Structure 1
Amino acid sequence: MTDSNTDPGRVLILAPVGRDAPVLAGMLQGAGIEADVTSDIDALVAQLDSGAGAAIIAIEALRRGDPRPLSRWIAQQPAWSDFPFVLLTHRGAANTPDLTGNYAAMLGNVTLLERPLHVVTLLSAAKQALRARSRQLQAAAQFAARERAEAEARELAQTLEQRVAERTRELADANDRLTAEIAERERTEAALAHAQKMEAIGQLTGGVAHDFNNLLTAVIGNLDLLEARLQESPLRRMVEQSLRAAERGAKLTSQLLAFSRKQRLTPMPVDVDRLLANHVDLLARTLGPSVRIETVLGAGGAPAMADATQLELAILNLAINARDAMPGGGTLRIETAAFDGSTADLAEGHWVTIAIRDDGVGMEKEILQRVFEPFFTTKETGKGSGLGLSQVYGFAKQSDGSVAIESTPGAGTTVRIVLPRAATQTATVTPLRADIVPQRPGARILVVDDDEDVRVTIVELLQQLGYRVIAAADGLTALNLLQREQGIELLLTDVAMPEINGVETARRARLMRPHLRVLFVSGYADLAQFGSDLADQDVLKKPYRLSELATRIDHALSVAKQA
């Protein structure tokens, strides 16, 4: 479409019959007017779009061709444009219906010239058309300039209003930021207070669990000794019940340590799909017939890096909570999946998730904010310790993962554990031996523990297994015994002791006897404070059963013999 920048000095000629076109072009060019000949209507329209000041058209070109493209072009002109045409007719044809009723109306701004025509008439018509076009273009340019000036004036008039609006927005943004910062500060202070409270509770529970572990070691050890000596006695049943109660106490301390994140975990690659598949029957027996268990095992064998025992305990705790939330029965759905990415509280990485869903009563928002606190429970008195979810929370965090809970009153609850994905395949765990038959009876063992009850119990347990045992109440006494006594093959030492701890005792003992094998025993879960190399050593966690002690002693002595 022609615009205000088009050169108005060029005339287009459409006269496809005879020699009219070259003759007309020659006449115009002879008068200094630029002229271009077009072959048909489409070519003419194309040239109009590329810029021209006027067009001379022979009427037979419109009659023989399709004038619709030209009609559309004329109809689509800008408001300021009225392109001039010169239409060449035959003498006496000016009054024919097809010309006056159609072509002239279509062309709009048209000058009619009858042929044969004089050169002066042609030049006059062409120049008049070019002048008219030139005036249109000038008017368009002036109109555009006036519009630009008015736009600039409007822009200047709006500047103050815009500045006021911008300043208002800046003030509003500043106020919003201040409000957000105040809210964020309040959230941070609340989170800090919560973290400090949880840390204080964690330190308390960790210390209590340590003391209980020592007590339970003596209790369980002595009960094991009694059980071995009461094979046919009716008192054996009472010992077995006491052992079960003591193991429940050990489970309680394990939950306390899990919450405080100070338990000693043994992470290894765990195939969560296989683990769950192997434990569905156990879960079914535990939850009872009113709970239907569904599993969607979608991890695809991707191993999670976690302590398998603690993971099983976490799943069991969540399943029991789900059962209690469905007093009339319902469906427990366990789903696993592997994904790459990040979560609200975990950075980009490779993860394995375990989701436990129930369709129970659900929880209110106020309860959800406290469910991971130790000893917090919504169950009736005596129906729960309030440590199940706190154990799950501590286990997930200590495993470098996370745990999240979603719940809607009346619509059920979902707890999702996220654990780091292991880079290697799942490990094979060697079960503890149950036969309690020592592989090297008569081996000499030095036992070091500052708790007399625990020390006496360990000595009796080892003697029951057929070992020769000497004991010391502290590390310095143990080192003196090592200097005097010969044939000691294994040092069995507690970690947390006064004066010098078990790690330092072992270090000095190895200076005297480089091939001495050491087995650490501890009820104190936070072992990092005793040195980073302790993570590479064998540690037997208190409390333990006689079978576990026997297995670990055999392993330690076999390694010592190979060395």
Structure 2
Amino acid sequence: MLRGSTEEARMTRSARILVVEDNRTLARDIEQRLVRLGFAIAGVTGSGEEAIVLAERERPELVLMDIRLEGGMDGIAAAEHIRERFGVPVVFLTTLVDDITLRAASVEAFGYIVKPAQDRELRIVIEMALYKHTAEKDRRRLEAQLRRSEKMEAIGQLAGGIAHDFNNVLMAILSNCRSLRRELPADQPPHRQVAQIETAAERAAHLTRQLLAFGRDAIDQPVALDLASHVHRTTALLANLIGDRVAIDVAIASDLHAVLGRGSEIEQVIMNLVLNARDAMPDGGRVTITARNAPDADEVEITVSDTGQGMDDATRARVFEPFFTTKEVGAGTGLGLATVYAVVARSRGRIDVASAVGVGTTFLIRLPATAIEPAAAPPRDDDDIGPPIEGTIVLVEDDEQVRSVIRDILERAGLRVIEACDGHEALQACRDHPGIDLVLSDVVMPRLGGAELARSLAVDAPGTKIIYMSGYPNRGVPGGRSQDLGPILQKPFTPAELLDWIRGALRSDAA
């Protein structure tokens, strides 16, 4: 017997075997030997056609198949059907090696037994066949996992590239919307219209974050989060999105532990699950969100349940696959739940789903708890530029629209701005204008990008402070060129975020 664990040997011995032999005496002898060796009998037949029927009904772990069978279908043809349709391994029974036996090799048999077989030979061949079949299934599973992994990596790279270009577009739209909204009277229709454009652009930014999360590229470092505040903030935003026919109930434990994560991603997970629940209830219903400390582990449990249509087993098995959707063409991206899965996995958590057709669906998320206290974040107006800032900044950005809106923010804050469209122009600007306080540079640019600019400045103007910004995530810059750049300001950003970064850099310079 092949060496292996006791459990493997036990499972092999209890395997259910279908015997296909048209000689009744031999069939009975084989059946008795198998029972004596500890195997179970899934059925006995002398017909190839009936063997296929039994294989479909009984689903044995292995078939012992006589090559020569009376009737219209011989053992080779029957074995081929069984292997292709049910994936069951076949061991051939034969009295001699001849042309028919050699033809059987094309069916990829898992072994041959020459009749009449002794117990020891029968046991060894069967156990080897079962072991080989298990190894083959494991190999196919690992190959499928590798293909999925490579596919996910390719899609992630594509998503990062799309997000980069899209974020530049959103940067211009959002910045100009904020400027217009600031200048227009709040009680006038144009102000409301601009606010609607801004809301639509922010939803587009949300989709971009889905692409980045799906690509498994973290934008910022995880921190301790007050989960309750993020759930409440998300449900408040969802009130206008889910409509009047869907009610939301929220139940959060008062002693809820903090979790490590990224606030925007946690909110995105809740939003995606609730919107998915809404879509499952076209006639209305109820969504229930709960959060509590897990009773059996140092974890926090979050559930999102609905009273919707529910899912069958086939749909539930694929629900986290990227681009899988049951919605009509154009009605869904198929990224929502794939993004949820990616975010939870990146947070070192896990997610399960329970569903029944006509009853509803419940998603259960478990995230590791942390003893770290969440930092209190003071309320802040994203358009608030704060006190004036003194200094000269070289702004390096190849997208003219993005460069223009960033320049307006910087000048409104009181900074002197020197523009450059790539690293070469930035180097020349630093040579022509002594006393540069800071360089604000995009990472990916033609001719000379942010990483190359940093290396050149280290020689030409050592000690120059640099802030990097990008539409790519921190680890998603093509070629891995962001590895040594440190934190990257993610586009699209608000005026307040940009100026906070600048103040921080200038303070460290003065320290």
TM range (shorter): 0.5 to 0.7
- 3-state SS of the aligned residue for 2:172? helix
- Residue 281 of structure 2 contacts residue 309 of structure 2 at CA under 8 Å; is this kept in 1? yes
- Residue 220 of structure 2 contacts residue 474 of structure 2 at CA under 8 Å; is this kept in 1? no
Report deviation, 1:494: 0.8
Query: Corresponding residue for 2:130?
Result: 176
- Residue 319 of structure 1 contacts residue 356 of structure 1 at CA under 8 Å; is this kept in 2? yes
Cα deviation 1:411-455 (Å, max 9, x = unaligned): 322223333433522222344444524423442111011223322
Amino acid at match of 1:332: V
Cα deviation 1:487-531 (Å, max 9, x = unaligned): 322211111224443244335435655654332211011536224
Does residue 1:521 correspond to 2:473, yes or no?
A: no
Quote the Cα distance in structure 2 between the aligned partners of 1:276 and 1:374. Answer: 25
Report deviation, 1:305: 1.0
Query: Corresponding residue for 1:202?
Result: 156
Query: Corresponding residue for 2:47?
Result: none
Quote the Cα distance in structure 1 between the aligned partners of 2:443 and 2:139. Answer: 42
Query: Corresponding residue for 1:331?
Result: 286
Quote the Cα distance in structure 2 between the aligned partners of 1:493 and 1:437. Answer: 20
Query: Corresponding residue for 1:447?
Result: 395
Does residue 1:479 correspond to 2:430, yes or no?
A: no
- The structure 1 residue matched to 2:445, chosen from 483, 493, 497, is 497
Query: Corresponding residue for 2:196?
Result: 241
Judging changes above 3 Å, is the alpha-carbon distance between structure 1 residues 376 and 326 closer, same or farther for their aligned structure 2 residues?
Answer: same
Query: Corresponding residue for 1:315?
Result: 270
- Residue 225 of structure 1 contacts residue 461 of structure 1 at CA under 8 Å; is this kept in 2? no
Quote the Cα distance in structure 2 between the aligned partners of 1:298 and 1:259. Answer: 30
Quote the Cα distance in structure 2 between the aligned partners of 1:193 and 1:251. Answer: 29
Quote the Cα distance in structure 1 between the aligned partners of 2:456 and 2:257. Answer: 43
Query: Corresponding residue for 2:89?
Result: none
Does residue 1:553 correspond to 2:507, yes or no?
A: no
Comparing 360-369 with 234-243, greater Cα deviation is found at 234-243
Quote the Cα distance in structure 2 between the aligned partners of 1:280 and 1:225. Answer: 28
- Residue 394 of structure 2 contacts residue 417 of structure 2 at CA under 8 Å; is this kept in 1? yes
Amino acid at match of 1:425: E
Quote the Cα distance in structure 2 between the aligned partners of 1:172 and 1:296. Answer: 56
Query: Corresponding residue for 1:427?
Result: 375
Amino acid at match of 1:409: V
Quote the Cα distance in structure 2 between the aligned partners of 1:425 and 1:240. Answer: 35
Report deviation, 1:356: 1.6
- Residue 438 of structure 1 contacts residue 466 of structure 1 at CA under 8 Å; is this kept in 2? no
Unpaired runs of 5+ in structure 2?
1-32, 39-117
Unpaired runs of 5+ in structure 1?
1-157, 342-348
Report deviation, 1:307: 0.3
Judging changes above 3 Å, is the alpha-carbon distance between structure 1 residues 526 and 540 closer, same or farther for their aligned structure 2 residues?
Answer: closer
- Residue 224 of structure 1 contacts residue 546 of structure 1 at CA under 8 Å; is this kept in 2? no
Give the TM-score taking structure 1 as reference length.
0.62
Query: Corresponding residue for 1:410?
Result: 358
Query: Corresponding residue for 1:544?
Result: 493
Judging changes above 3 Å, is the alpha-carbon distance between structure 1 residues 352 and 169 closer, same or farther for their aligned structure 2 residues?
Answer: farther
Amino acid at match of 1:475: G
- 3-state SS of the aligned residue for 1:242? helix
Quote the Cα distance in structure 2 between the aligned partners of 1:162 and 1:411. Answer: 47
Quote the Cα distance in structure 1 between the aligned partners of 2:435 and 2:127. Answer: 79
Comparing 286-295 with 451-460, greater Cα deviation is found at 286-295
- The structure 2 residue matched to 1:302, chosen from 247, 251, 257, is 257
Judging changes above 3 Å, is the alpha-carbon distance between structure 1 residues 422 and 323 closer, same or farther for their aligned structure 2 residues?
Answer: same
- Residue 440 of structure 2 contacts residue 466 of structure 2 at CA under 8 Å; is this kept in 1? yes
Judging changes above 3 Å, is the alpha-carbon distance between structure 1 residues 162 and 252 closer, same or farther for their aligned structure 2 residues?
Answer: closer
Amino acid at match of 2:264: T
- 3-state SS of the aligned residue for 2:437? strand
Query: Corresponding residue for 2:417?
Result: 469
Report deviation, 1:279: 4.8
Cα deviation 1:143-202 (Å, max 9, x = unaligned): xxxxxxxxxxxxxxx9xx879556544433322222222333333333333333333222
- The structure 2 residue matched to 1:225, chosen from 152, 163, 179, is 179
- 3-state SS of the aligned residue for 2:155? helix
Matches within 5 A, 1:69-468: 165=119, 168-231=122-185, 235-277=190-232, 279-283=234-238, 286-297=241-252, 300-338=255-293, 351-434=299-382, 436-468=384-416
Quote the Cα distance in structure 2 between the aligned partners of 1:226 and 1:507. Answer: 39
Judging changes above 3 Å, is the alpha-carbon distance between structure 1 residues 437 and 427 closer, same or farther for their aligned structure 2 residues?
Answer: closer
- Residue 383 of structure 2 contacts residue 494 of structure 2 at CA under 8 Å; is this kept in 1? no
Amino acid at match of 1:327: P
- Residue 388 of structure 2 contacts residue 413 of structure 2 at CA under 8 Å; is this kept in 1? no
Amino acid at match of 1:318: L
- The structure 2 residue matched to 1:530, chosen from 462, 481, 486, is 481
Amino acid at match of 1:545: T
- 3-state SS of the aligned residue for 1:403? strand
Judging changes above 3 Å, is the alpha-carbon distance between structure 1 residues 382 and 446 closer, same or farther for their aligned structure 2 residues?
Answer: same
Quote the Cα distance in structure 2 between the aligned partners of 1:236 and 1:294. Answer: 33
Quote the Cα distance in structure 2 between the aligned partners of 1:273 and 1:295. Answer: 10
Amino acid at match of 1:480: Q
Judging changes above 3 Å, is the alpha-carbon distance between structure 1 residues 242 and 457 closer, same or farther for their aligned structure 2 residues?
Answer: same
- 3-state SS of the aligned residue for 2:472? coil
Over the matched positions of the two proteins, sequence identity in percent amounts to: 38
Quote the Cα distance in structure 2 between the aligned partners of 1:549 and 1:446. Answer: 14
Quote the Cα distance in structure 1 between the aligned partners of 2:148 and 2:502. Answer: 43
Quote the Cα distance in structure 2 between the aligned partners of 1:457 and 1:271. Answer: 34
Judging changes above 3 Å, is the alpha-carbon distance between structure 1 residues 282 and 252 closer, same or farther for their aligned structure 2 residues?
Answer: closer
- Residue 256 of structure 2 contacts residue 292 of structure 2 at CA under 8 Å; is this kept in 1? no
Count of matched residue positions in the alignment of Structure 1 and Structure 2:
394
- Residue 258 of structure 1 contacts residue 390 of structure 1 at CA under 8 Å; is this kept in 2? no
